[in-house]
């Protein structure tokens, strides 16, 4: 079976030749080391760094999916490296002579003369939520101008499908609650949801207008699935009733729109989703990826399977910190436990949180090998 065929079979409950492996990486974290380029080039350099990151992961680990999350700024275009120290890298603009500084830990790139200045973003800077539809519309025009842009959308580009013809290709889909919390601010969003849920849902409904176009674009570009990752839509943040009544209907819409264009749907709510599982089962997703633990709550895949049954594929939530520690005996035991608890059918091995930057690539190879020999 090809990687693509293997994950389709797992999602549809058919037999596979081995357990599919779909490690969760995020942005350039970890993967930058495999490209042969310094971190600042992967984050801010010229060229198609999304392709570079994905290719490096596939070539090193032969993973079954390609989930594209890395975005790059190209801010280092026409800037020349001059020197570096323990925490910074210095560049000079070849046209203006202006000096720029990259911070190795914070990953920011700024003109040298702006370091130390207070930087306030339009997004997330509000202290009070909107109180009416008029205020909400004004806020949306400021923070989400793309919703009001009626110009023709970009033409489809199949460069990812052409690059990875045999891999299961996954793109991100709008995460409605996390988008609101990031753009409005975490506390104002919770206040709005509690005090004026109808206005909160009105705002989320407006931002969901991008989803049909997103799904259509993914289909036109040859993707196989969309993954909706909604951070903070979990029981450590909101109640099961609030999730069921106000957030879940939008999550269902995302899955429905993916299915309309012939794509599979995957949901990844970080945090404690155990009290939400029955609601999530009814949303129509093909697969669920649970986080491994949050605030002391262990998300056991055996418990997830006992609630959702065999109608939904489960992605494993392997402990990324166990992979970081590199204890191979413990890794082998955990592979066997997860496959026995939630698989082997309708199961894809993954990790509950993205691979840590300092993880040894040899350990990732070992984890993948153990998984593929688990049945």
CATH-assigned architecture of domain 3-71+133-372: Alpha-Beta Barrel (3.20)
Residue 187: CA count within 13 A, CB half-sphere: 4
**Does residue 280 carry a pLDDT above 50?**
yes
3-state secondary structure of 102: strand
Q: What is the pLDDT of residues 73-126, one digit of tens each?
A: 999 999 999 999 999 999 999 999 999 999 998 899 999 999 877 554 544 455
Determine which of 44-53, 162-171, 313-322 has the lowest per-residue pLDDT on average: 44-53
Q: What is the pLDDT of residues 342-370, one digit of tens each?
A: 999 999 999 999 999 999 999 999 999 99
Q: What is the pLDDT of residues 6-38, one digit of tens each?
A: 999 999 999 999 999 999 999 899 999 999 999
Please report which confidence band the pLDDT of residue 67 belongs to, taking 50, 70 and 90 as the band edges.
very high
Please report which confidence band the pLDDT of residue 127 belongs to, taking 50, 70 and 90 as the band edges.
confident
Question: Average pLDDT for residues 190-195, to the nearest whole number?
Answer: 96
CA–CA dist 129, 188 (Å, integer)? 5
**Does residue 53 carry a pLDDT above 90?**
yes
Q: Which helix (H) or strand (E) holds 201?
A: helix 197-207
**Does residue 295 carry a pLDDT above 80?**
no
For tokens 């970081």, what's the residue? Answer: 324
Q: What is the pLDDT of residues 155-187, one digit of tens each?
A: 889 999 999 999 999 999 999 999 999 999 999
Question: Average pLDDT for residues 124-135, to the nearest whole number?
Answer: 81
Domain segments of the chain as ranges: 3-71+133-372
Q: What is the pLDDT of residues 319-333, one digit of tens each?
A: 999 999 999 999 999
The pLDDT of residue 118: 55
The pLDDT of residue 279: 97
What are the CA-CA distances from residue 56 to residues 4, 226, 365 (Å)?
18, 22, 14
For tokens 């909101």, what's the residue? Answer: 238
**Considering the entire predicted model, what is its pTM?**
0.93
Q: What is the pLDDT of residues 206-256, one digit of tens each?
A: 999 999 999 999 999 999 999 999 989 999 999 999 999 999 999 999 999
């Amino acid at each position: 079976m090809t990687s693509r065929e293997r994950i389709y079979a797992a999602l549809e409950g058919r037999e596979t030749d081995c357990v599919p492996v779909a490690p969760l990486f995020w942005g350039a974290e970890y993967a930058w080391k495999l490209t042969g380029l310094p971190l600042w080039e992967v984050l801010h350099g010229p060229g198609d760094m999304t392709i570079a990151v994905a290719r490096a992961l596939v070539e090193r680990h032969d993973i079954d999916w390609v989930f594209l999350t890395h975005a790059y700024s190209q801010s280092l275009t026409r800037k020349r490296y001059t020197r570096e120290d323990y925490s910074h890298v210095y560049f000079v603009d070849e046209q203006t002579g202006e000096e720029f500084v990259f911070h190795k830990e914070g990953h920011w790139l700024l003109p040298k003369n702006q370091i130390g200045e207070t930087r306030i973003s339009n997004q997330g800077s509000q202290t009070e939520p909107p109180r009416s539809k008029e205020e909400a519309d004004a806020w949306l025009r400021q923070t989400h101008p793309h919703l009001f842009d009626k110009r023709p959308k970009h033409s489809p580009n199949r460069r990812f499908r052409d690059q990875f013809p045999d891999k299961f290709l996954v793109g991100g889909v709008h995460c409605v609650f996390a988008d609101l919390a990031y753009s409005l601010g975490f506390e104002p969003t919770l206040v709005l949801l509690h005090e004026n849920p109808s206005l909160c849902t009105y705002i989320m409904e407006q931002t969901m207008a991008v989803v049909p176009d997103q799904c259509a674009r993914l289909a036109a570009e040859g993707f196989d699935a969309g993954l909706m990752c909604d951070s903070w839509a979990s029981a450590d943040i909101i109640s099961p009733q609030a999730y069921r009544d106000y957030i879940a209907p939008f999550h269902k819409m995302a899955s429905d729109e993916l299915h309309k264009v012939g794509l599979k749907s995957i949901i990844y709510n970080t945090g404690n989703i155990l009290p939400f599982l029955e609601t999530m089962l009814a949303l129509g997703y093909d697969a669920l990826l649970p986080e491994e633990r949050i605030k002391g709550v262990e998300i056991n895949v055996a418990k997830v399977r006992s609630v959702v049954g065999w109608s939904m594929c489960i992605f494993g939530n392997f402990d990324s910190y166990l992979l970081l520690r590199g204890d191979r005996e413990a890794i082998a035991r955990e592979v066997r436990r997860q496959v026995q608890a939630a698989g082997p059918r309708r199961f894809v091995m993954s990790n509950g949180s993205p691979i840590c930057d300092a993880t040894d690539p040899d350990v990732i190879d070992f984890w993948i090998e153990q998984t593929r020999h688990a049945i």
